[in-house]
Amino acid sequence: MNINKNYENLEQSYLFSTVAKKVSEFSSKNPDKKIIKLGIGDVTLPLCKKVIDAMHKAVDEMGVQATFRGYGPEQGYDFLRKAVQGYYKTHNVELDLDEIFISDGAKSDLGNILDLFNQDNTVLVPDPVYPVYVDTNIMAGRKVIFIDANGDNCFLPLPDKNVKADLIYICSPNNPTGAAYNREQLKAWVDYARGMGAIILFDAAYECFISDKEIPHSIYEIDGAKDCAIEFCSLSKMAGFTGTRCGYTIVPNALGKLNKMWLRRQTTKFNGVPYIVQRAAEAVFTEEGQKEIKENLNYYKENAKIISETLKKCNVWHVGGKYSPYIWLKCPNNMKSWEFFDYLLENAQVVGTPGSGFGNNGEGYFRLTSFGSKENTVEAMARFEKLFG
């Protein structure tokens, strides 16, 4: 027996455990001080009514012989694939039903898609980034190269024609930075990928936060993208499905074999998302469902605005917030990420996430999220203003 030695090349991630440890140490020393957590990377508002109603109904169906369901199609029920197809139409993207694959979330698909690609492919990943892209490729023994996202390019790096890559990760709006590419910038990536015969793996997990016509929701809004891109999306941030689990991946037929290979991969290694969850997901795409999830998204976006406006008042450089639940700020007074974490915890009892945990270029930056309550966000920002205003 030989183990997969590539696992030894993974960097230990102490980010969230170190945050938790520092917070618990502080609170045991200062039991009277109220800590506000703006480091949360998970939704906090409950599922909307339309979703819950659909789930209840599906649960009842499962208890009746005539409507009981066993194994479903591995790639998802047609009712949900049609709902996703209709959703893409609202962004002027036409998809065939067999290009849409329902899954238990974007994270699994982002990892699993690598089954389709040879180990000798070179992978291009922006730095800083969602750690899943790097770690899944390290596990498979693939070579990862980085492209710098930094203050100079407002954390939206553009392709460099001198860099050769086969697989390219793009996350827009971005986690952790909240920065989102406009049409022209995405076009540059599509042209670059097509010119090289590379595939873009486009993570659209935060597309639902976009409310500006200049910012595409889907990479397929760009001409030529169906020839070079696979898109991943999820109901996690869109509709609070982080614990319910449902997402979808688009593999265009224009990518040739890849569409059938992904179908083969899923039918071999995956047995589908629960019927009950797919009915809940279908409800998200109804008119009422969309209205209800927008209310929740607007709640988070309002928090993001409160954070962003406070940072502006304090002259703190930042991106994000406008099209995402994340605000990415440059630590005041040139502090390092962890130094700022400690300072903020000690002096304002506000917790965020050190940017250095997302890559080398994250050093000196800090992530705040809008997933907290409005009351806590307002109070945290009042404390912030006292320190830096």
Ligand X SMILES: *Cc1c(COP(=O)(O)O)cnc(C)c1O
Residue placing its CB nearer to ligand X in the complex, 128 or 159: 128
With CB under 6 A as the contact rule, which of the stretches 31-39, 105-113, 306-314, 334-342 interacts with ligand X? 105-113
Please select the residue that binds ligand X; options are 175, 185, 259, 310, rule is CB under 6 A.
Answer: 175
Judge whether 96 and 238 are in contact, CB under 8 Å: no
SS3 at position 157 = coil
* Calpha distance 209→178 (Å, rounded): 10
Shortest gap between Cβ of 171 and ligand X (angstroms)?
A: 5
CB-based contact 303:370 (threshold 8 Å)? yes
* Shortest distance, position 325 Cβ to ligand X, whole Å: 9
Cβ proximity to ligand X, 202 vs 220, nearer residue = 202
Closest to ligand X by CB, 99 or 203: 203
Please state the closest distance from residue 209 (CB atom) to ligand X, in A.
Answer: 11
**Residues facing 200 on adjacent strands:** 168, 229
| Positions 185 through 244 that interact with ligand X (CB under 6 A) | 203, 205, 234, 236-237, 242
Q: Express the helix, strand and coil content of the chain in percent, nearest 5 each.
A: 50, 15, 35
Q: Output the smallest distance, CB 204 to ligand X, in A.
A: 9
Residue whose tokens read 């957590």: 37
In the complex, the smallest distance separating the C-beta of residue 118 from ligand X, rounded to whole angstroms, is 24
Chain position carrying tokens 């596990």: 139
DSSP state letter for 155: T
**To the nearest whole angstrom, how small is the minimum distance from the Cβ of residue 42 to ligand X?**
8
Task: Please choose, out of 49-57, 102-110, 275-283, 294-302, the segment that lies near ligand X by the rule CB under 6 A.
Answer: 102-110
**Quick one: 77 or 358, whose CB is closer to ligand X?**
358
Shortest Å distance, C-beta 104 to ligand X: 7
Number of residues located near ligand X, criterion CB under 6 A: 13
Stretch that binds ligand X, among 14-22, 29-37, 101-109, 183-191 (CB under 6 A): 101-109
- For the four alpha carbons of 277, 278, 283 and 285, in that order, the dihedral sign comes to positive
Q: Which of 308, 322, 279, 320 shows the shortest CA–CA distance to 381?
A: 308
Q: Choose which of 126, 247, 289, 357 interacts with ligand X (CB under 6 A).
A: 247
CA distances from 212 to 91, 225, 322, 324 (A): 12, 20, 9, 12
Q: What is the DSSP letter of 160?
A: -
Which position among 74, 101, 102, 107 is part of the footprint of ligand X (CB under 6 A)?
Answer: 107
As a whole number of angstroms, the longest Cα–Cα distance in the chain is 67
Q: Report the residue number whose CB is nearest to ligand X.
A: 105
Shortest distance (Å) from residue 258 CB to ligand X = 20
Residue 21's nearest CA partner among 9, 11, 33, 29 is 29
Query: By C-beta, is 112 or 376 nearer to ligand X?
Result: 112
Binders of ligand X among residues 132 to 171 (CB under 6 A) are: 171
Least gap, CB of 347 to ligand X (angstroms): 29
**Pairwise CA distance, residues 127 & 359, whole Å:** 5
Which of 36, 51, 55, 106 is in the footprint of ligand X by CB under 6 A?
A: 106
Q: Helical H runs in 30-77?
A: 49-62
Q: Within the chain, where are the H helices?
A: 15-29, 49-62, 78-89, 106-112, 132-139, 183-196, 235-239, 257-269, 275-284, 287-313, 337-348, 374-388
Closer by beta carbon to ligand X, 189 or else 384: 189
Question: Which residue, 16 or 68, has its beta carbon nearer to ligand X?
Answer: 16
Please select the residue that binds ligand X; options are 105, 128, 357, 359, rule is CB under 6 A: 105
Please report how close the Cβ of residue 8 comes to ligand X at its closest, in angstroms. Answer: 25
Site string for ligand X, 26-55 (x = CB under 6 A): ------------------------------
User: Is the previous residue joined to 216 through a cis bond, with omega within 30 degrees of 0?
Assistant: no
| C-alpha neighbours within 13 Å on the C-beta side of residue 2 | 3
Interface ranges with ligand X (CB under 6 A): 105-107, 130, 171, 175, 203, 205, 234, 236-237, 242, 247
